Chain A
Amino acid sequence: MIFSDADLNAIWLTLKLATMVTFLLLLIGTPIAWWLSQTRSWLKAPLSAIFALPLILPPTVIGFYLLIAFAPEGPVGHLTSFFGLDSLVFSFWGLVFASCIYSMPFVVQPLQNAFETMGNRPLEVAASLRATPIDQFLSVVLPLCRSGFFTATILGFAHTVGEFGVVLMIGGNIEGETRVVSVQIYDHVEALEYSQAHYLSAAMLLFAFIILLSLYIFQNKKTSFGVRL
């Protein structure tokens, strides 16, 4: 086995984190994307800008603010202690929280695009056939926008796996809790364990390539069969 136990721990933790974050972001991101695609409110532009912020902000900015917010004296720290919860700083759930913020635009934007391309017509038809809103969502929106959901899932997952700066700043590098693969690689490099770093890096490279390949194959199929959305 070329991976040490610590490496395997990091891989497992990374997959756990990315799965959890993708699941939560699909739950939170879908209504947000839906609202953004339907609304004519003046709030659309400022809110879109806020949700797209993590695309532009360096991880150091997000990490810096989150560290201060999570600290016992910070706003989030006060909130968690008020509800009797464990502090988020240096914890797995802190990473989940941070990753949700960081990966949000990668889930919201593909969904919003899909919803906007679909337009209102299919829903109007469904409503005239007396489909309930839940029914409309499950049997009209989901199948029509499945490509958008697929892209959002893949990008949300992949982007969380690839996260480094924020995790380094708020994670505290704890094995099994916050030491994800990107941090483990960094540790190997710092400790001059270059061959270990090579193995993990190559694994990450392969993973990223496969993820993107599957995404592009899926999108090509979609267009070559002439299916919209």
Chain B
Amino acid sequence: MLQKSKLISICLGLYIVWCIPSATLAEKINIAVASNFAAAIKQLIEKFEKTSTHKIQVSFGSSGKLYAQINHGAPFHIFFSGDQTKPSLLAKNGLAIKSTQFTYALGQLVLWRAGNPSDNKPVNRKTLTSIKFNHLAIASPKFAPYGIAAMQVLKTLNITQKTTKKLVLGENINQTYHFVASGAAQYGLVAMSQMYKINPASYWEVDEDLYQPIKQDVILLQKAKKSKAALAFLKFIQHEDNLKLIEAFGYQSNLDKAPLVD
């Protein structure tokens, strides 16, 4: 009997030692991130976790899939979308907090050719308009933000008709990248943020007047309303140094940010 109560008190003691600090100090949050932002968010999280006791678990996917998951109760705290529509829709449906929505990055489109850049002609606007390729990979223009922008480029350059039969569609920008990287498609209109390890001679930064800016918004989800960690991370993203970091990954950062209140 004595032993049993001793055991219980030990267990209780251990429970208090382990659980209380983690419950009060450090929080673990889940964030959903559009796949084009993968490389940047990994560095941002690494930097954030160095100065914070909070831990961040990240899930990547296309914005559409993540949106559907959130709509059906996925346990995310923050949603980094690849566009503006989906965060706005979530706010409208009461699943996210409108006042926390802001543009964390402006995506940029590049025309990329895989393979050895030295033994080929330079990649530029002419590469696209001369249409000397069998396949041009783009993200799906039906729902992927970079795919919509890619179609705008083709339309502005007046080559929509001529390229229709050559287009292959990736379900998101990472798959589009993979189509080109594997050599299956010679060219692709992909995200500048994917070019950080790529030789600049093998891609062309598409002129910005050829497509509407790809505004990517983030929003705090309703169930994370009281999460200190989630709010801390959003504030961290808005810090000037971190916006610079985002720019280094091939985005333009946008400064009309939402005033975040505790």
Contacts of A172 on B, CB cut-off 8 Å?
Answer: 135, 137, 168-170, 179, 185
If A173-B168, A186-B171 touch, does A191 touch B143 (CB 8 Å cutoff)? Answer: yes
Q: A67 to B134, alpha carbons, bound, how many Å?
A: 16
In the complex, residue of chain A having the shortest beta-carbon distance to the beta carbon of B86? A192
Q: Which residue in B68, B134, B137, B169 is a CB contact (below 8 Å) of A189?
A: B68
Within 8 A of B (CB), among A183-202: 186-187, 189-192
Q: Are A192 and B68 in contact (CB under 8 A)?
A: yes
Q: Which of A10-18, A45-53, A70-78, A137-145 interfaces with chain B?
A: A70-78
Contacts of B108 on A, CB cut-off 8 Å?
Answer: none
Q: Which of B59-67, B99-107, B243-251, B252-260 interfaces with chain A?
A: B59-67
A87: interface (CB < 8 Å): yes
Interface centre among B64, B183, B184 (most CB of A within 10 A): B184
A168: interface (CB < 8 Å): yes
If A73-B183, A192-B67 touch, does A90 touch B142 (CB 8 Å cutoff)? Answer: no
Q: A87 to B179, alpha carbons, bound, how many Å?
A: 14
In the complex, residue of chain B having the shortest beta-carbon distance to the beta carbon of A73? B183
Q: Are A90 and B184 in contact (CB under 8 A)?
A: yes
A213: interface (CB < 8 Å): no
- A86 smallest CB distance to B (angstroms): 9
Contacts of B170 on A, CB cut-off 8 Å?
Answer: 172-173
Q: Are A190 and B134 in contact (CB under 8 A)?
A: no
B182: interface (CB < 8 Å): yes
Contacts of A192 on B, CB cut-off 8 Å?
Answer: 64, 67-68, 89, 143
- A117 smallest CB distance to B (angstroms): 43
If A70-B184, A172-B135 touch, does A187 touch B143 (CB 8 Å cutoff)? Answer: yes
One digit per residue, 1 when the CB lies within 8 angstroms of any chain B CB and 0 when it does not, for chain A 145-183 equals 000000000000000000000001110111000000000
Mostly, the A contact residues are loop
User: How many interface residues does B have (CB within 8 Å)?
Assistant: 25
Q: A67 to B182, alpha carbons, bound, how many Å?
A: 7
User: How many interface residues does A have (CB within 8 Å)?
Assistant: 22
Q: Are B168 and A90 in contact (CB under 8 A)?
A: yes
A98: interface (CB < 8 Å): no
Q: A190 to B179, alpha carbons, bound, how many Å?
A: 19
Q: Are A72 and B183 in contact (CB under 8 A)?
A: yes
If A90-B168, A174-B169 touch, does A187 touch B183 (CB 8 Å cutoff)? Answer: no
Q: A192 to B178, alpha carbons, bound, how many Å?
A: 24
If A71-B184, A90-B168, A90-B184 touch, does A187 touch B67 (CB 8 Å cutoff)? Answer: no
Within 8 A of A (CB), among B58-91: 62, 64-65, 67-68, 89
- A5 smallest CB distance to B (angstroms): 15
- A209 smallest CB distance to B (angstroms): 24
- A186 smallest CB distance to B (angstroms): 7
One digit per residue, 1 when the CB lies within 8 angstroms of any chain B CB and 0 when it does not, for chain A 58-78 equals 000000000110111110000
In the complex, residue of chain B having the shortest beta-carbon distance to the beta carbon of A89? B184
Q: Are B140 and A187 in contact (CB under 8 A)?
A: yes
Q: Are B183 and A74 in contact (CB under 8 A)?
A: yes
Q: Are A173 and B169 in contact (CB under 8 A)?
A: yes
Contacts of A74 on B, CB cut-off 8 Å?
Answer: 183
Contacts of A170 on B, CB cut-off 8 Å?
Answer: 184
B44: interface (CB < 8 Å): no
In the complex, residue of chain B having the shortest beta-carbon distance to the beta carbon of A90? B168
Contacts of A190 on B, CB cut-off 8 Å?
Answer: 62, 64-65, 140, 142-144, 171
Q: Are B68 and A90 in contact (CB under 8 A)?
A: no
In the complex, residue of chain B having the shortest beta-carbon distance to the beta carbon of A86? B134
One digit per residue, 1 when the CB lies within 8 angstroms of any chain B CB and 0 when it does not, for chain A 205-224 equals 00000000000000000000
Q: A71 to B142, alpha carbons, bound, how many Å?
A: 26
One digit per residue, 1 when the CB lies within 8 angstroms of any chain A CB and 0 when it does not, for chain B 137-162 equals 10010111000000000000000000
B234: interface (CB < 8 Å): no
Q: Are B64 and A191 in contact (CB under 8 A)?
A: yes
Q: A129 to B37, alpha carbons, bound, how many Å?
A: 73
- B244 smallest CB distance to A (angstroms): 32
Known contacts A89-B135, A190-B143; 5 further A-B pairs (Cβ under 8 A): A74-B183, A168-B175, A190-B65, A191-B142, A192-B143
Top 4 A-B residue pairs of the complex, sorted by shortest distance between their CB atoms: A172-B168, A190-B64, A71-B183, A173-B169
* 12 A-B interface contacts by CB (under 8 A): A67-B182, A72-B183, A72-B184, A87-B134, A90-B184, A168-B171, A168-B175, A173-B140, A174-B167, A191-B64, A191-B143, A192-B67
